[in-house]
Structure formats: C-alpha cells, structure tokens
Amino acid sequence: MASRRLSEERDLPWVFAKLVDDAVPDSAARGPGRAHRPDGDVDALPPTPELLPRLTTKRGGMSGRRLRRRLMRLVAAQLDAQQVGLGIALYFDRRGLGGWAKVFRERSAESGLRAGRVTAFLAATTADFDLPGVAPVPTQYKSPVRAVAVALDREFRVTRRMNAAADAAVAGRDHVALQLLQGLLEEQIERERGLRQLLAVIASGVNLFQAESLLDHLA
C-alpha cells in the first residue's frame, strides 16, 4: 500500500501532496517520492485545507438564491425569444420573404447563444438546476407588423429579466454576475434598436421584397 501511495503521490501538485502527508504522519512511509515544493517559506502560505474550497465555492445564502432565481427567469425569457424568432422566420419564409426570414433566424440563434452564456455561468457557480420549458409559439401572424411587434415585446421581457438579475447581483455584491449581465444589457440595447428600425421600415409602407436589400444595415 505504501509503494502504491508513493507512486501516486509523485504526480500530485505539492498542495495536494501536503494533504496526503498530513493524513499519513509516518515520515518513513513518505520516502523520496514527495512532490516538489516551491522555494520559499512554506509555513508562511495559507493553511493548505483552506485552498480547496476556493476551487468549488458555490454561491449560497439569501442573495445568492435570489440571483439564481432571477437568472433562471432570464434564461426562460431568452429561450422564449429564441423560439419566437424561429416562428417568425418561418412566417416570413412562407411569404417568400427569405431576407426577412434570415434576419429572424439569426436573431433566434443569437438568443439561444445568450441563454447559453447565462447557463454556463450558472453551471460554474451554483448547484444543479433544471432548464425551463419552452411554450409553443405561432408561425402565422396577421401581418408583418404584428410579427415584428411580438418579437420586440419578447425583447422587452428579456430586458426586464436582465435588469432584475442585475439588481440581485448588486444586492448580493456578485461582481462576476454583474459583469456578465452588463455585457448582455449592452447587446440588448442594440437588439431592441434593430427591431424598432424594422418596425419603422414596415410602417413606412415600403415593398418588403425591395426592402430586403436594406436589412443588413438595420437588424
């Protein structure tokens, strides 16, 4: 058993080897296979057992739970926006407006990626969680104006969820979460601006087929 422990210890960083040494006080059993320690005064370093929790710390407490709930609501809103965007893309496809469909298909994919950024943060910093479900969405609308208006309404909902999560991050002094949310909010402003411009184009009465050449500069 001692020889096996020595062979395994050779591959351990010195911090973890220190834990093994403390658990096995027999210095003779440690032998020449001790992991190399860096130069300097080892006793001046923080106690080794305190280093491990920092690698796996999870956000807890009242403020941490509140932030997690609000982040999960944000994920739900983003996934809903993703689904709605895909439904609107199908609506425009059926009307032969491939350029408009492309815009909303890309926006749908972006919503999914943004939801992924939040879930990646949650996976790295909180306990296990379940992804929210997504409700069915229409693929037919009364008019193009109505379709884009629905998309804009979903973006407003996402913005509200982001602001609520940012408020929770500030209250909980979670600067990492706040930095993530600030970046998302900056992008969110542009997403809302793009949809407002699309609504203005449709409301102008322009032929939507002819307007497709303008879409790359608007959305």
CATH no. for residue 147? 1.20.1260.10
Number of domains making up the chain: 2
51 and 65 in a single domain? The answer is no
49 & 155 share domain: no
Q: Containing domain of residue 212, as a range?
A: 61-217
**What would the two tokens of residue 159 be?**
């913005």
Q: What is the pLDDT of residues 127-166, one digit of tens each?
A: 678 899 889 999 999 999 999 999 999 999 999 999 999 9
Q: Does residue 101 sit in the same domain as residue 194?
A: yes
- 7 vs 125 pLDDT, higher one: 125
For residue 177, give both structure tokens: 């979460």
Model confidence over 71-122: pLDDT tens digits?
A: 999 999 999 999 999 999 999 999 999 999 999 999 999 999 999 999 999 9
Q: What is the C-alpha to C-alpha distance for residues 74 and 169, in angstroms, rounded to an integer? A: 13
- pTM surpassing 0.75? no
Q: Which two tokens stand for residue 191?
A: 């997403």
